[in-house]
Amino acid sequence: MASYTCNINSTGFVNVPSRGSSFSDIQPFSAKCKPSMRYSGMQIKRRPLLVRNTILSDVSRSRTSTQEVEFKPALTEIIQELPRRRLEGLVETVRKMLRSMGDGDISISAYDTAWVAIVPSLDDGSEGPQFPKCVEWIINNQLHDGSWGDPHLFLAFDRICSTLACVVALSTWKVGRSNVEKGVRFIHSGMQLLEVADITLMPIGFEIVFPTMLEKAQRLNIDIPYNAPIVKRIVALKEKKLKRISVDKLHETPTTLLHSLEGLSHYVDWKKILRLQSKNGSFLNSPASTACVLMHTRDRRCQEYLTSILQKFGNAVPNVYPVDLFERLWVVDRLERLGISRYFKQEIKDALDYVYRYWTPNGIGWGRETSVQDVDDTAMAFRLLRLHGYDVSADVFSHFEKDGEFFAFYGQVGQATTGMFQLYRASQLQFPEEIILEEAKLFTRKFLERSRNTNTLFDKWVIAKDLVGEVKFALDFPWCATLQRIESRKYIQLYGTNDPWIGKSVYRMHMISNHMLLNLAKADSNVCQSNFQKELQQIYSWNEEMQLSKLEFSRQKALECYFTVAATAFEPQMACMRSVWTRCCVLSTVIDDLFDVGASLDDLKEFVAAVKSWNLSAIDNLSKDMKIVFLALYNTTDDIIQEGRRYQGSDIGSHLHEIWIRLVESYLKEAEWTQSGQQPTIQEYTNVSQISIALEPIVLTSAYFVGELLTDEIVAHPDYRRVMQLLSHCGRLLNDIQGYRRESRQGKPNSISIYMREYQITEEEAIYKAQNEIDHTRKQLVSEILRPTKVPRACKELHLNMAKVLHFMYAETDGFSSSTAMKKHVTSILFDPVE
């Protein structure tokens, strides 16, 4: 039994050997800390401890003398103070909320309510408003400063527009004199604010509708500054927009102008415009625009649309309705980015089934009957639907591209950051030959980077809590290199619980932004972290029992190995899989180091023979270190086989044995190349190195523990072999780019050096060639994983997780070998609780 000394110094730190120790075995009141006896089913009974400020393993293979590790009470003890039933209660509350989704939970718009209030009675001979309750609502909902609008956010354009509309409505019916007087005073002062207001926060269609409302106000003799300089500039903006969207086409095909018909009364043929009416009776789901059409046509369907909304919202209307597609998409996106989607699988499926029902070759809009599609909703829908296995074509984005530029709406005056942001996110789910997505990715990334560099990352559609942070994260961590737990941890910081959106007026989407989602995400993150720490202790105990810490030649990477799986497959039911992944990852690393520097070529041949015989008697002639490695491999594989029987109902032993034989044979071939100085061809190297990257022992072994039946037929199927081959090829090239110079000095073959030799190209050209090959291989891999195949979805997602780990680890350096590259991420995911 191994033991080691832990010296507690006066500063409260514990000094432990850097590689011969297990952080989980440090006891705060004992000088002697002993690892467990024979590993058996990961049943470790030690009191869990939280290790913080962990110093990751060195990149060199030599040992350092000591490391200092601060210990604190386990997060488990902290999280136990939060009753599990509170977490369960949050889940149930959110689930009920999701199941109640209908046409959209959206806030009231004073601006649109004013337009509905202006509609005169449709009864012949009757005077007064058709919707008198809307007039009452206006009188009762004026803000203390005399304005109307969102009470929690002051945006000059929004407040002026809403206030002018309400003043016009009350003046039309000659009611609410004191309200009108207060409103007019606000408009006088507010006009000065418009002069310096941020034009990027101008509500949708403001430049179209505001001049028209001024005309209505002037006819009602309302005393406001009609000749203010800002008015002239707004009129100029209106003329500019109307030139971009020809008014001649207004009656021919749906455009965004249908959303602002109340500002186009001089141009509209009211009989012709009814041809473009939506099935629900609205015009682009706009109550204000529909109210204007109703005034001029007395159309029954317009009236029914407005009446139905008033019944739902109680004497007032939102700025757009329904918003059923928009709400469902953004809610699903939030659930996934916050890392809590696993609680709501059925609700998410229902939401995406609903969206897919209304998916068209031209994309979608914010509502099921919206006749104008936009890139924002279309990109979000495309990304989520493709991720969840729905059949959607990238050709949809050709409708949002002209002359090499992408846009949100045809005829838009300015680019919308969120539209380009969502298109950038969608473009990364590219299959081979989808050129339109490649063009979209290049265009949107360039746009977003330019906006970030010029500090112009703001949006005209939403005032997000931290849009800059969201875009920065997306640019720094492309989807192919985004680990779910890292993204969730970051998004918990970025997520706004009451973000205001900007339509014709400021509005809120209560299901998309709310405290319940954030509270659930925080509680869930801490619960997962508590589980991680207990599992990590068990891994350390296994590492000690297998005596792997005694191997002087080997890197000690248990922490990093566990991090890679915890950051991607964090669900509680994946605990056994995480253990299998980590143990196989550690063993692969140790065996790799053994073949690199731990033994002579003759000794390595003896080791390979022992693995192939899979017999304990074969270790008699092995060195002490090789015996440790073989016994660790043998015993651990035996444990995994036993566990596999419970998951698969069959013996997976022969298959696991074959995997390890292939790995050690590939290591031996590379060692022979290195020692002999032989230079393999690129094809010879590829055949061997795709095995020696050691992804098969980790991923395929772990795939038996994801809850899917993985038969011999599936493992042998071409669909599975192709996924594994693509993943391994991608991983090998990523590894070679970062390790090429070091391996060249060691005389080891590498794809970069082989490219340089065979193609007579420079190092830079060889790396560029490898990067292009990675890009192409990744697209093929994404296609294989997301499209229906014979391989169970959960197994394929495990391969996708590994692909993301590889892109993440090798993005800028060899993150697996580096002692610092992963430190902050490991600490964040495994040790630092969410406040």
Token digits of residue 385: 């639907």
Neighbouring-strand partners of residue 71: 51
Q: What is the pLDDT of residue 248?
A: 72
Q: What is the pLDDT of residue 816?
A: 82
Evaluate whether 411 touches 245 at the Cβ level (below 8 Å): yes
* Cα–Cα distance, 760 to 334 (Å, whole number): 49
Q: Could you tell me the pTM of the whole model? A: 0.88
Unique residue bearing structure tokens 């209505």:
216
Domains, the chain, with CATH or none:
110-313 (1.50.10.160), 323-510 (1.50.10.130), 520-830 (1.10.600.10)
Is residue 358 classed exposed, middle or buried when 0-12, 13-18 and 19+ CB atoms within 10 A define those classes? middle
Q: What is the pLDDT of residue 704?
A: 97
Kindly give, in sequence order, each residue whose CB lies less than 8 Å from that of residue 565, ignoring residues fewer than 6 positions away: 577, 578, 581, 582, 585, 702, 801
Kindly give, in sequence order, each residue whose CB lies less than 8 Å from that of residue 382, ignoring residues fewer than 6 positions away: 363, 392, 394, 396, 397, 426, 429
* Cα–Cα distance, 664 to 660 (Å, whole number): 6
Backbone angles phi, psi at 279, to 5 degrees: -60, -30
Question: What is the per-residue burial (b if ≥16 Cβ within 10 Å, else e) of 181-191?
Answer: ebbbebbeebb
Unique residue bearing structure tokens 């109340």:
262
* Cα–Cα distance, 210 to 202 (Å, whole number): 11
Amino acid residing at 606: E
Euclidean distance between the first and final Cα of the chain, in Å?
40
Amino acid residing at 396: V
Nearest residue to 23 (alpha-carbon basis) of 60, 59, 48, 58: 48
Q: Is 733 helix (H, G, I), strand (E, B) or coil?
A: helix
Ordered alpha helix ranges (H), 407-514: 417-427, 435-453, 467-476, 484-494
Q: What is the pLDDT of residue 473?
A: 96
* Cα–Cα distance, 803 to 587 (Å, whole number): 20
The string of pLDDT tens digits covering residues 381-419 is 999 999 999 999 999 999 999 989 998 876 565 678 999
3-state DSSP helix/strand/coil % of the chain, to nearest 5: 60, 5, 35
Is residue 423 classed exposed, middle or buried when 0-12, 13-18 and 19+ CB atoms within 10 A define those classes? buried
Unique residue bearing structure tokens 């408009």:
187
Token digits of residue 522: 């925080």
Residue-by-residue DSSP string for 181-241: HHHHHHHHHHHHHHHHS-GGGPPTTHHHHHHHHHHHHHHTT----TT-HHHHHHHHHHHHH
Nearest residue to 40 (alpha-carbon basis) of 703, 711, 635, 768: 635
Evaluate whether 508 touches 534 at the Cβ level (below 8 Å): no
C-alpha distance from residue 696 to each of 581, 584, 722, 775, 802 (Å): 11, 10, 12, 21, 11
C-alpha distance from residue 246 to each of 203, 250, 562 (Å): 21, 7, 60
Q: What is the pLDDT of residue 64?
A: 31
Backbone angles phi, psi at 52, to 5 degrees: -125, 165
Nearest residue to 675 (alpha-carbon basis) of 602, 751, 757: 602
Give pLDDT < 50 ranges for the chain. 1-81, 83
Evaluate whether 627 touches 611 at the Cβ level (below 8 Å): no
Kindly give, in sequence order, each residue whose CB lies less than 8 Å from that of residue 600, ignoring residues fewer than 6 positions away: none
Question: What is the per-residue burial (b if ≥16 Cβ within 10 Å, else e) of 86-125?
Answer: ebeebbeebeebbeebebbbbbbbbbbbbbbbbbbeeeee
Unique residue bearing structure tokens 């419970």:
646
Token digits of residue 833: 């609780």
Q: What is the pLDDT of residue 451?
A: 93
